[in-house]
Amino acid sequence: MPELPEVETVVRELRPRLLGRRLQAVSVSRHRLRKPWQQQWAGLLRGRRVAAIRRRGKWIILDLDNQVHLVVHLGMTGQLTVKMSREAAGTHTHLVFRLDRGRQELRFRDVRRFGSATVFPDSRRLEDFFQKAELGPEPFALPAGYWREQLARTTRSLKAVLLDQRVVAGVGNIYADESLFQARLHPAQRGRDTSAPEAARLRRAIVQVLNQAIERRGSSIRDYIGASGQQGEYQREFRVYGRTDEPCLRCATPIVCMRLAGRSTHYCRQCQRLK
């Protein structure tokens, strides 16, 4: 599933391709996404100019004029790209937004159809949507006191805390494993057993890992591509994720994979010792 670096890459690559342009007709496939497309949304979008493109957690937000918002979640296999209209749409393309006079299109492709696209007619309803989602702070604006408190109050593992979007938004399985390795913390360590220096170290590691991944345009493991159609490159720099039985890049101890918080979790027994 695309995580924060992949979604941020899509947002950054969409900006020069979409800002100031108008959405026109919308074509919808007969296959339903995670949320069904509502017929009235096409009328709300028609003729609206793209004023801003931003990210909240793993959500992509297109702010249109007159306070209309198009919100996209890539799900597990979603791709959001701008293509020339003459280029044939690939299979599993479920939404096509014609741009300006129709020479180019914004296309949403999703093989597994766990993604979604939703239109909010005003900013209040968009705010209500994210309030109900209970998203935590962005990793880059994670208050130190808040972070220490969240860890101190829970018996859950650090891996489970990092995956909880209500605690911190945007981090998923890949970058949780990589951040814990960077911080030299065992993924099964309980939050309340984490000292203040360890909490600070993990907080810094999250930001470092995410920034590095964004610089590499995210990780392409299966279906992910950026808005430009190019793949990410951070998967070449994984230090633990997906490296089961391979030598640790720090100490040469074989990387271990276990099931934790419902997800495959990779770590080094030597560098990330459990308290």
Residues labelled catalytic: 2-3, 58, 263
**How many residues does this entry show for the chain?**
275
Q: Which of 171, 182, 160, 179 is nearest to 136 (CA)?
A: 171
Q: Report DSSP letters for the chain, one per residue.
A: ---HHHHHHHHHHHHHHHTT-EEEEEEE-SS--SSPPPHHHHHHHTTEEEEEEEEETTEEEEEEGGG-EEEEE-TTTEEEEEEETTSPPPTTEEEEEEETTTTEEEEEEESS---EEEEESSHHHHHHHHHHHT----GGG--HHHHHHHHHT--SBHHHHHH-TTTSSS--HHHHHHHHHHTT--TT-BGGG--HHHHHHHHHHHHHHHHHHHHTT---SSS---TTSPPP-GGGG-SSTT-TTSBPTTT-PBEEEEEETTEEEEEETTTS---
Distance CA 197, CA 123 (A): 40
The answer to whether the CB of 46 falls within 8 A of the CB of 39 is: no
Residue position matching structure tokens 């479920």: 94
CB atoms within 10 A of CB 24: 17
